[in-house]
Amino acid sequence: MRWLSLSLWLPALAAAAQVPTDFNGRLYIYDKSSPSLSNKHAPISHEAARLIIAQRLGVDRYHDGDSISPETMSALNSLGSSSGLFEEKDFRRPLAVLLSSEDRHHHQQDLEPYTHLATVEAIPSLKQSDSLFVGFAAQKYASENRRPVFSKDNAEQGIYFESDDAIVRRITGFPQPGLLLDQYRREGYDVILLISPKQWAAKTSYGHFEWPMVTHDKRQIQEKPLEEEPDTPAPNETISPSKSNDTTPLRGILPFCYSTKEKCESTTRNCTGHGSCKIAYTQKDSSSDDEGVPCYSCSCSATVRENKDGSKKTTVWSGPACQKKDVVTPFWLITGFTVLMIFLVSWAIGTIMTMGNEELPSVIGAGVSGVPRK
């Protein structure tokens, strides 16, 4: 009986021991200018994988770069963009591909030979990886000053961004993904393949990166082209119309909730200068283990103005963009004064009419006599 119980527990323990390895992803790199040497790099973090892909796509300015660890910097130097100082950037055509671990296991032999291979430790879920690639596509549209092109064919094929110089896509349900990657390599693309687990994932995230507003508001390209800003802003600073000199009033019905702080600041022009965007609440899904979708809204603050005589005037702001003045006090003052004046006029008219309807005293009537006859 004891050996029977051990025979039942040993497979379960072996399966449990293999579960943590499923949390790791894979990052394949195929360089057209380098021979396929199948170099295996040391394991890297999921944030390092994000920075490597962003650097090879040419959108690393949308990603944080202040707090980079020495290990991440070493991975960037080894696996990042290998273009030289005097090499033309247009000569290199990056292709970022997302593949689930299920498809990778079915076609492991099709992914070799490669130039570099690195294990991505504690990689987030496939859903977050897909959202990361959508962000890469939005950043490519913004960097090339283009409007997003949505087509049914691209959506079915999982193509998020496609141009003559770069492609960002996801391969789902393709019979032989390795053959498709070989075709891209023959066309002159440098392939960056990220394999994310489909069933198991660590409760981590890819970190902070800027999501350009070009995917949400197509007029953003016309109002403020990104080429007008030659200096790269700080990682935590977002280019938004709120920092421009646009003083036109906000028209239409503005939403109360925004998915990101950058979108809140851009749409409301930083709460029209009368507040700041803060998290109002976080909407969580009971059926999911995700952190939830945050709701950013404007938190209005009162402004105090000092007059010439030394007195101070406080203005309270409200509205979804803090663009409306609180006129409660003036409203009640005007309303109270109007009601008081109506009451006084009505009382005066009523008093005069009452006095006019009264009969004259009899003494006054008796003292009045006609003219005597001569």
User: What does the DSSP assignment read for 150-191?
Assistant: --HHHHHHTEEEE-SS-EEEEE-S-S-HHHHHHHHHHTTEEE
**Amino acid letter, 358:** E
pLDDT confidence of 3, banded at 50, 70, 90? very low
More confident residue, 22 or 354: 354
pLDDT at 263 over 50: yes
Q: If you average pLDDT over residues 299-314, what whole number do you get?
A: 86
Q: What is d(CA 339, CA 6) in angstroms, rounded to the nearest whole number? A: 90
- CA–CA separation, 22 vs 195, rounded Å? 11
Say if residues 321 and 272 touch (Cβ distance below 8 Å): yes
Average pLDDT over the chain, rounded to whole?
A: 75
CA-CA distance, 18 to 205, in Å (whole number)? 22
| Cα–Cα distance measured from residue 92 to residue 32, given in angstroms and rounded to the nearest whole number | 9
Among the listed residues 218, 124, 128, 112, the one whose alpha carbon sits nearest the alpha carbon of residue 170: 128
Residue 362 has pLDDT above 80, yes or no: no
Which of 5-19, 38-52, 192-206 tops mean pLDDT? 38-52
pLDDT at 35: 65
Name the token pair of 169: 């896509």
State pTM to two decimals. Answer: 0.51
Higher pLDDT, 227 or 142: 142
Percent of the chain with pLDDT over 90: 12
Q: What is the DSSP letter of 194?
A: E
Rounded distance between C-alpha atoms, residue 270 and residue 288, angstroms: 32
Q: Give the model's pLDDT for residue 371.
A: 62
Higher pLDDT, 259 or 19: 259
Query: What gap in Å lies between CA 332 and CA 70, rounded to an integer?
Result: 64
- pLDDT of residue 243 exceeding 50, the answer is no
Residue type (1 letter), 82 = S
Task: Classify the C-alpha dihedral 157-163-164-165 as positive or negative.
Answer: negative
SS3 3: helix
Query: Any residues with CB less than 8 A from the CB of 88 and at least 6 apart, and which?
Result: none
Average pLDDT over residues 223-251: 47
Q: How far apart are CA 316 and CA 167, in angstroms?
A: 49
User: Crossing angle, helix 46-57 and helix 70-79, to 10 degrees?
Assistant: 40
- The answer to whether the beta carbons of residues 160 and 133 sit under 8 Å apart is yes
Q: Name the least confident of 11-20, 125-134, 159-168.
A: 11-20
pLDDT at residue number 107: 52
Q: Which amino acid is at 356?
A: G
Cα–Cα nearest to 190, from 36, 25, 43: 36
Question: Three-state SS string across 250-314, please?
Answer: CCCCCCCCECCHHHHHHHHCCHHHCEEEEEEEEECCCCCCCCCEEEEEEEECCEEEECCCCCEEE
For residue 368, the model assigns a pLDDT of 58
Residue 249's pLDDT is what?
66
pLDDT of residue 319 exceeding 90, the answer is: no
pLDDT tens digits along 321-355: 888 887 777 888 999 999 999 999 999 999 999 88
| Ramachandran quadrant class, 271 (left: phi over 0; alpha: psi -120 to 50; beta: rest) | left
